[in-house]
Chains A and B, each alone.
Chain A
Amino acid sequence: MRKSKIFKLVSLVLCLSFILAACGQGGTDTKEQPPTNEETGAKETQYKDTITVAMTAQPPTLDASLTQSQVTFGVAGNIFEQLYTMNAEYIPTPELAESVEISEDKLEYVFTLRQGVKFHNGKEMKADDVVTSMNRWLNVNGRAKALLEGANFEKIDDYTVKLKVTRATSDVLIILSTRSLFPTIMPKEVIEAASPEGVKEYIGTGPYKLQEWKQDQYIHLVKFDDYSPVDSEPSGFSGKKEAPTENIYFYFVTDHATRIAGIKTGEYDVAENIPLENYEELSTEEGVTLYSKPSGSLNAFFNTTEGLLADVKIRQAILAAIDANEVMLVSYASPEHFTLDPGYMNINQPQWAVKAGAEYYNQANPEKAKQLLEEAGYNGETVTLLTTKDYQEMYAATIAIQEQLRQVGINAEVSNSDFPTFMETKKDRSKWDIFITSNGYNVIPPQILAVNPDWAGFSAPEVKTYLDAIRGASSDEEAQKQWANLQQFMYEYGSSTALGHYNSSMATTDKVEGFVFFDQPIYWNAKVAQ
């Protein structure tokens, strides 16, 4: 009797768990599931119809105008296009526009649009879509709004639009071509239906369209059959996009070890953001190709407005104490992964790679630091270094600098928290003296955080004067000279310092062809051999 009771109970529990499991599955049943590698491998074509990418995090949105998130740009770059884009030499190159005519006074830009370009919903792209998209971008993208204040797009005819700017500057086309500002062109209706959090549908003109976004798992893109590519050699973000692979799956794989194990076994064709400590290990691995390139600078920012560091002498003492080589070694493991350079801009971009202020950079001069501290009357006050362990390189650099400051007699304390808390604390300038962040490259100096008063409170009026001079310069040489002056000023003022330039690394299996690691990974011409 009791046995059967137990039996019934156990059966009931089992049944319940199966029903629960089955119900749960219901939600996913109907949706298309990603094929495993074995399934795709079964076809007898030369190349696989799927490329799988392991990326570090889920993008906050694919509405790229709204965010500064790198993971967004990496995925959205396949779906959306812009009027002009950057080629490999960072020269603005037509993409959805055919050409541009610039008025003599540099206040009007007339773009001729390419004809017959289709959106993923089948509609042809026309001036109305471009004007609505671009005006929204000018309105919602904080940096675009600041750089092109008062600018406005208007329609001339179905295939011509005009941009009016309020100030004559030399960088308008560069700004429009910048991937990190990403002025995406979407259909007018999509923009009009958008809420403050972003558009409700992701419809672009790119070589891939969004098929499915499975939250916290993957984004699935499929080839857009009606895509109309430009007819020129691929270069950087510009040129012909062929989409030889039918599907791209971007899996969100936050754990480094899992991404690395996945690339070794071929579970993923591409693994983004390989931590430098694993670079060595993977470089000896057969069947794996590594890509590495300078992609940003590690910078230390000083609190110029409040507390001890409001005194320029103290800031100069800190600059004297910093041994950038040591900091970079601690943060990036090996000299092959970083470059020492005082510049804030991309060291591969000749226009802006200047060495102004080099005498203040990487001084590693404790004696000078001690002397400056004495002159400033430093008396053992605490210097707080704000950091977060969520970004290993930022944390490691902070600890290294803390030690260097202690060596010269500064009472340096580290305050560590998770990333959102770090960002929140950073806003309150009474709570920190120094923080270090790694910052991806920007295309023009006004975009960098080191000159942005919001970022660390650095608001010397000279900065604006120099920036205006850079933007209003009549020639590239003149602009470069002005930028060098600004960089020199920043070092003399002691507002911040570059610590060095780091490489980003990615890995693919050696079956991947046509893949390019430009400012972001480029997948639209990539294919994977069987």
Chain B
Amino acid sequence: MLEYLFKRLLSLIPVLFVVSIAIFLIIHITPGDPASTILGLEASQQEIDELNELMGFNAPIHIQYANWMKNVLKGDLGDSIFMRQPVTQAIIEHFPPTLSLAIIAQIIAIILAIPFGIIAAYKRGSVIDTTLMSVSLLGMAIPGFLLGLFLMLFFSVKLELLPVAGYKPLSMGLWTHLRYLILPSIALGTVQAALITRMTRSSMLDVLYLNYIKTARSKGIKEIKVLLKHALKNAALPILTIIGQSFGSLVTGAVVIESLFNIPGIGQLIMNSIVRRDIAVIQGVVLFVTLVYVIVNLIVDLLYGVFDPRIRLDGK
């Protein structure tokens, strides 16, 4: 197990290296430069060139990369030229809102999706199944930002129950914290819920008609127990995979929802940095996001062994 963990972590290094080169090249191929952003629309070319020179953006690309890599290996992701703070600090400040949002959205998604998926599979072909599947199709089809706008209009503007946008940290109290995250979490969670519902249903259908379920039923075990203990557990792996993927995408920043609800998370950070051509931040965040994604996947892989003891990660 430990050996497996170690191998997986080791395999991270080339992944991060390739990602870093790719992102470095993409940023530098993209036209636009940070000095223009700082100086504004009407700055002269001379001013822009001067500032770029001073900030070291006129050096050849491989030199810039080498300098950056050297610092990264020392644990220094560089400084944001726009925010005037270390990139690491920017990430640390922008991660909590995203993490909170991801956790709440994921909880909403799971609470909705698993029961719905089980019911739809159990009542296969019935009106309930058709309704649930239609609703989940709608949930997948509706763009998150549109749902977010509807939620904002209804719950904030019409009913005035929840704040329109913004973010308050947990330190200001749990309820204050949650109030600002409920709507964006629903907007995000619904899309994920639709996905997980469908996966749960099809995964359950795969096992519900197998012989061991019939055996369990014929032994007189209660239906609920058959469903949850015998069927769900065996159907868990694909569901777990999809939950892992969905959490991975949530925790690495929901760009549109974060900017709609003005949540200063990783998604906003990366979007703003791209607009500002704040190169150090873009690189730092992409590395961070890759790392988080890989770790989430690793955790999912480890969980496989828990749900299905036949899977042995050490290969013995």
- Which residues of chain A have a CB within 8 Å of any CB of chain B? 2, 5-6, 9, 13, 17, 20-22, 24-25, 27-29, 33, 36, 58, 60-61, 66-70, 72, 142-143, 146, 196-197, 214-217, 251-255, 257-258, 261-262, 264-265, 267, 417-421, 423-425, 427, 437, 439, 449, 452, 454-455
Pairwise interchain contact B55-A197, C-beta atoms closer than 8 A: yes
Kindly specify which of B43-51, B111-119, B129-137 makes contact with the partner chain: B43-51
Residue in chain A with minimal CB distance to B41? A68
A452 to B95, alpha carbons, bound, how many Å?
A: 44
Contact A267 to B163, CB < 8 A, known contacts A21-B170, A257-B260: yes
Contact A24 to B167, CB < 8 A, known contacts A17-B103, A255-B259: no
Asked whether B143 is an interface residue with its Cβ less than 8 Å from the other chain, the reply is no
Asked whether B156 is an interface residue with its Cβ less than 8 Å from the other chain, the reply is yes
Pairwise interchain contact B171-A261, C-beta atoms closer than 8 A: no
A429 CB to closest chain B CB (Å) equals 12
The A-contacting residues of B in range 102-142, CB under 8 angstroms, are 103
Contact A261 to B39, CB < 8 A, known contacts A24-B96, A27-B92: no
| A17, A216, A257: most-surrounded residue (chain B CB, <10 A) | A216
- Which residues of chain B have a CB within 8 Å of any CB of chain A? 30-33, 36-47, 50-51, 54-55, 81-85, 89-90, 92-96, 99-100, 103, 149, 152-153, 156-157, 160, 163-172, 176, 259-262, 264, 268-269, 272, 275-277, 299, 303, 306, 309
Contact A60 to B42, CB < 8 A, known contacts A21-B96, A25-B169: no
| B31, B95, B163: most-surrounded residue (chain A CB, <10 A) | B31
Contact A258 to B165, CB < 8 A, known contacts A24-B99, A197-B81, A420-B37: yes
14 additional contacts, CB 8 Å, given A27-B92, A254-B262, A258-B260? A24-B96, A28-B171, A60-B40, A60-B276, A70-B40, A216-B272, A217-B167, A251-B262, A261-B164, A262-B164, A265-B160, A423-B32, A439-B41, A452-B44
A251 to B40, alpha carbons, bound, how many Å?
A: 20
Pairwise interchain contact A142-B83, C-beta atoms closer than 8 A: no
- Residue among B92, B171, B262, B277 making CB contact with A33, cutoff 8 Å: B171
Contact A420 to B149, CB < 8 A, known contacts A66-B38, A261-B165, A267-B165: no
Residue in chain A with minimal CB distance to B302? A9
- Residue among A6, A36, A61, A419 making CB contact with B176, cutoff 8 Å: A36
Contact A6 to B44, CB < 8 A, known contacts A25-B171, A253-B165: no
List, in ascending order, chain B residues with CB within 8 A of A28's CB: 93, 96, 169, 171
A355 to B303, alpha carbons, bound, how many Å?
A: 75
Pairwise interchain contact A142-B81, C-beta atoms closer than 8 A: no
Pairwise interchain contact A142-B47, C-beta atoms closer than 8 A: yes
* CB<8 Å pairs between A and B, sample of 25: A24-B95, A28-B93, A28-B171, A29-B171, A33-B169, A58-B272, A66-B39, A67-B38, A68-B39, A142-B39, A142-B43, A143-B42, A215-B90, A216-B94, A217-B167, A255-B165, A258-B165, A261-B152, A264-B157, A267-B156, A267-B163, A420-B277, A424-B36, A425-B31, A454-B46
A251 to B303, alpha carbons, bound, how many Å?
A: 42
List, in ascending order, chain A residues with CB within 8 A of B54's CB: 196-197
Pairwise interchain contact A419-B275, C-beta atoms closer than 8 A: yes
List, in ascending order, chain A residues with CB within 8 A of B85's CB: 215
A419 to B50, alpha carbons, bound, how many Å?
A: 21
Contact A258 to B43, CB < 8 A, known contacts A66-B38, A267-B166, A420-B32: no
Pairwise interchain contact B262-A255, C-beta atoms closer than 8 A: yes
A193 CB to closest chain B CB (Å) equals 14
List, in ascending order, chain B residues with CB within 8 A of A36's CB: 163, 168, 176
A67 to B42, alpha carbons, bound, how many Å?
A: 9
List, in ascending order, chain B residues with CB within 8 A of A58's CB: 272
List, in ascending order, chain B residues with CB within 8 A of A70's CB: 40
Residue in chain A with minimal CB distance to B31? A424
Pairwise interchain contact B262-A258, C-beta atoms closer than 8 A: yes
Contact A265 to B164, CB < 8 A, known contacts A68-B40, A215-B85, A215-B90: yes
List, in ascending order, chain B residues with CB within 8 A of A265's CB: 156-157, 160, 163-164
A196 to B103, alpha carbons, bound, how many Å?
A: 42
A522 to B78, alpha carbons, bound, how many Å?
A: 37
A265 to B83, alpha carbons, bound, how many Å?
A: 31
Residue in chain A with minimal CB distance to B167? A217
List, in ascending order, chain B residues with CB within 8 A of A425's CB: 31
List, in ascending order, chain A residues with CB within 8 A of B83's CB: 215-216
Pairwise interchain contact A5-B306, C-beta atoms closer than 8 A: yes
List, in ascending order, chain B residues with CB within 8 A of A25's CB: 96, 169-171
List, in ascending order, chain B residues with CB within 8 A of A254's CB: 259, 262
B151 CB to closest chain A CB (Å) equals 11
| B51, B83, B167, B172: most-surrounded residue (chain A CB, <10 A) | B172
List, in ascending order, chain A residues with CB within 8 A of B92's CB: 24, 27
B50 CB to closest chain A CB (Å) equals 8
Contact A261 to B153, CB < 8 A, known contacts A25-B96, A216-B269: yes
Pairwise interchain contact B99-A17, C-beta atoms closer than 8 A: yes
A22 to B177, alpha carbons, bound, how many Å?
A: 13
List, in ascending order, chain B residues with CB within 8 A of A13's CB: 299
List, in ascending order, chain B residues with CB within 8 A of A196's CB: 50-51, 54-55
B41 CB to closest chain A CB (Å) equals 6
